[in-house]
Amino acid sequence: MQPDDLTIAGYIGEHYNSPMGLSAAVFTAGLLSWTLLEYVIHGWMAHLHDTFVAPIHAVHHRDPYAVFAIKAWLPSMAVAALLFGVFGAAPGAIFYLGLLCGFAAYEVEHYRIHFAARLAPVERRLRDRHLVHHLRRPTMCLGVVTGFWDKVFGTEPLRPELDALCASVRDVPPLSGPSNLHQFLSSLRSSH
């Protein structure tokens, strides 16, 4: 690589010079970008600033069973269908598909953090951090699927405090019973 090619585009051009490789790189960039978008929506828009997201998200803090952002699913999928319908497999549409897959993974992981009795070690750490956010420090530990952006933006307590906070929530049992998705699907079945 030439020194003037030390950019993301240069790296992708050097290492992913096939259409499939480029698509995979763009999809991965969208997937990883979800983590920042999740932090912006959950952290800045729902907790640190008074935006239209704050009252919507407050429902989840009042009722932790409301873990799914159900009302965002249909518009998100409609945008994906529109992008692919109009532009085909253009890089922007593929990037958005990566974001959408990141959102889907977030929804699954958020559910598991609140409801799963058995968690992988990394999920256990995410659960501890998320419960610190819910139960101890609502303006800290704002990243749900990663703590990376909390470190970047200063919303993670210093290590000794974080360790103590995580230890203080470690014995909180997972939720049991139906989530808001189960309730939503039940209401659809009963309306027919």
**Domain regions of the chain by residue span:** 3-190
- Mean pLDDT calculated for residue range 1-23: 62
| Terminal C-alpha separation, the chain | 61
Output the pLDDT for position 98.
95
CA distances from 177 to 68, 114, 116, 155 (A): 14, 11, 11, 31
pLDDT of 182 strictly over 90 = no
Output the pLDDT for position 13.
56
Q: Using one digit for the tens of pLDDT, what is the confidence trace for 72-81?
A: 788 888 888 8
* Torsion angle, alpha carbons of 143, 70, 113, 115, to 10: 160
| pLDDT category of residue 11 using cuts at 50, 70 and 90 | low
